[in-house]
Structure 1
Amino acid sequence: MKTIHNESKHNESKRVQSKVQSRPLIAMIIIVGGLAALFLGITLSISLGAVNIHFRTVWEAVFHFNPDSSQHQVVRQIRLPRALAGAIVGAAFAVAGCIMQGITRNPLASPDLIGLNAGSAFALAVCFSFFPGMSFHSIIMFSFAGAALGTGIVYGISSISRGGPTPIRLTLAGAAVSALLLSFSQGLSIYFHTAQNISFWYAGGLGGTDWGIIKMISPWIAAGLVGSLVLSRSITIMSLGDDIAASLGQRTTLVRAASAILVLVLGGAAVAAVGPVGFIGLVIPHIARLLVGVDYKWSIPCSAVLGALLLVFADIGARVINAPYETPVGAITALIGVPFFLYLARKEK
């Protein structure tokens, strides 16, 4: 009997491997080429701004810092942390969306569409309104709690009807809950006179990011990225369906719980740093899977690199489009994400 069970499990494993498309060579090209492009993007991000700084000066400021030079100070204290934050946060949003789409098998799942961003934004509005002197570490904790609140409400509402949380129910519930929570957030900011301080943050932006913020969010996001790679095989199996995952011995409840924690850590830290920047977690995972297949061992790192690239270059566009004024980076990502969302919604019917 045990031999028959092992043989059945082996056959099921072979069937899963045949379903999982993987293009490791393309994935390696994307990762290596993407990192090179990311280095270029970070260099451009540091160089471009209200006052352009020559590449040579950027190099000297990074590797041969002169504290008496005003341009070196601008590079080190303002532009370099901003560019690095864009890369870190872009990777976090993209990987969070990748995990969500894999675990839920919902092509429309992303942090901004299922209430995570709005919940985190609401929690931060509460912080700014009632606890204005709160430390950034405490703000991140509030952001995690708000992310869990928003996501929990959306999944709770979409699960009430027969058939469970289908993609369309999740999307509709996410839109309604996000609108409600953002309305509460704006109401609090107006009543407590914090609207001017956080209005740009709501639109999403990297302005004002400093080394302190990077030091606070980097350990959380790094832990989330490493955890997602550790769970990548389980996420790949879960993306093929609960029946197949159970037949291969996956503890589906445990994998879902661990994945949910990773999404909350990645999304909550990212929103706390730059605000509810939308559509990165929706668009990038689809592009990654299209290029490298549905093996999450490759699609997760590719999503991280492509997400970092998107936010870094979107931030460059935000500063160049209407220079010397700054356009919210959330508006740039929305210009890319909304048409893609409409295309995806039509494709998935």
Structure 2
Amino acid sequence: MGTRSVRTIGLVVLLIVLVAACGASIAIGSRVIPFGEVWDALWADRVSDSSEAAGIVQGLRIPRTVLGVIVGAAVGAAGAISQGHTRNPLADPGLLGVNAGAACAVVVGVYLLGITTPIQYMGFGLLGAIVAATVVFLLASVGRGANPLTLILAGTGLTVVLTAITSAIVLVDTASLDAWRFWQVGSTAGRGWDVIWAAAPFLVVGAVLAVASGYFLNILTLGDDVARSLGTHVVKVRVVGIVAITLLVGAATAACGPIVFLGLIAPHVARFVTGTDYRWVVPYSALIGAVVLVSCDVVGRVVARPGEVQAGIVVAALGSPFFIALVQSRRLAAL
């Protein structure tokens, strides 16, 4: 069986696993509902059916599942192109300051304007992510232009500054601290269709740019000088990549808060099947990210009934030992 056939079969398997995870997300929750009632509620008319099961399934679990899929896919794909552009196997989207920019903007919005709703967090978080990514690219472009090293240095430096501003605000304002603590853990709970529809356009555009970047990322892995000699406009490719990362992670982080580790581990898992071809690594990473986030969200609802553990915490708790084992196995796929 050829490599292409194996990769195609792998995508089909991931899609099947994702469908199963979505089914579990709709059927399982901190509130126990018999499967028969879940099935009836899934097809019920919300206008005429005012039952508790219909309200929970259609009003809470379905939007939560959809958000988990699109956010997990966005973070996974963004992690793949982040590692490709920085040529760093330990890079994740937060390395470019996107998460810190979103968090800082949300805290500033709470402190200065008193924002309180998820859709307001969404707007401010996305704006902060876009501004942070723009500043990182401009700083990295000073001198000889943006390259993997300057992007990492600029992102790290800006992250420190933004984190300091965020910390200063939450230390002096209780309302900002409460909002920041709730948003920072990373959760798909409590978000409705308004947040999903607000994030969707940015995620769609970012996904298109990410998939289209795959071919050029393969060339960039040869080095900037070789890429230029092959006719690739390196600056344009990096701009497109950073725009894709910003849209994907900015919208995802603004909607759910930062989901740590997901953008780091998904590309490594993908490379075990696909190798280093980014035309396959990016879509694989997206599907793996969606499967992991939705599955972790389900686990979080079950382990602490009648309460629940937020998805971001479960991802970090399960992802950390997995990644340590991956490193110790000395089988990290080369970039």
Aligned to 1:86: 68
Deviations 1:9-53 (A, max 9, x none): xxxxxxxxxxxxx93222222221111111111111122222222
Query: Structure 2, unaligned stretches of length 5 or more?
Result: none
Aligned to 1:33: 13
Alignment of 1:183-222 (within 5 A): 183-189=164-170, 190-191=172-173, 193-222=175-204
Residues of 1 paired with 2:21 and 2:71: CA distance? 15
Aligned to 2:42: 62
Select which of 332, 336, 342 maps to 2:314.
332
RMSD after superposition: 3.2
Residues of 2 paired with 1:339 and 1:74: CA distance? 33
Does 29-38 or 270-279 show the bigger shift? Answer: 29-38
Q: 1:122 to 1:296 in 2, by over 3 A?
A: same
Q: 8 Å contact 1:113–1:171 — kept in the other structure?
A: no
Alignment of 1:128-277 (within 5 A): 128-133=110-115, 139-140=121-122, 142-151=124-133, 170=152, 174=156, 178=159, 181-189=162-170, 190-191=172-173, 193-277=175-259
Q: 1:65 to 1:31 in 2, by over 3 A?
A: farther
Select which of 53, 56, 62 maps to 1:74.
56
Select which of 90, 96, 109 maps to 2:78.
96
Does 249-258 or 118-127 show the bigger shift? Answer: 118-127
Deviations 1:311-347 (A, max 9, x none): 0011111111222122122221212333455567776
Does 239-248 or 92-101 show the bigger shift? Answer: 239-248
Aligned to 1:47: 27
Partner-residue secondary structure (3-state), 1:324: coil
Deviations 1:256-283 (A, max 9, x none): 0011001000010001111011011110
Query: Structure 1, unaligned stretches of length 5 or more?
Result: 1-21
Residues of 1 paired with 2:133 and 2:50: CA distance? 48
Task: Give the share of equivalent positions with the same residue, in percent.
Answer: 33
Select which of 109, 115, 118 maps to 1:127.
109
Deviations 1:73-132 (A, max 9, x none): 110111110111011100011111111111221111112344321221111111222223
TM-score calculated relative to the size of structure 2: 0.85
Q: 8 Å contact 1:114–1:154 — kept in the other structure?
A: yes
Does 149-158 or 217-226 show the bigger shift? Answer: 149-158
Does 324-333 or 286-295 show the bigger shift? Answer: 324-333
Q: Read off the aligned partner of 1:263 and give its amino acid letter.
A: I
Task: Look at both structures and tell me which one has the larger radius of gyration over its CA atoms.
Answer: 1
Residues of 2 paired with 1:231 and 1:256: CA distance? 9
Count of paired positions: 325
Q: 1:261 to 1:157 in 2, by over 3 A?
A: closer
Aligned to 1:115: 97
The alpha carbon displacement at 1:171 in A equals 8.2
Partner-residue secondary structure (3-state), 2:254: helix
Q: Read off the aligned partner of 2:203 and give its amino acid letter.
A: I
Partner-residue secondary structure (3-state), 1:323: coil
Q: 1:220 to 1:136 in 2, by over 3 A?
A: farther
Does 276-285 or 331-340 show the bigger shift? Answer: 331-340
Q: 8 Å contact 1:235–1:296 — kept in the other structure?
A: yes
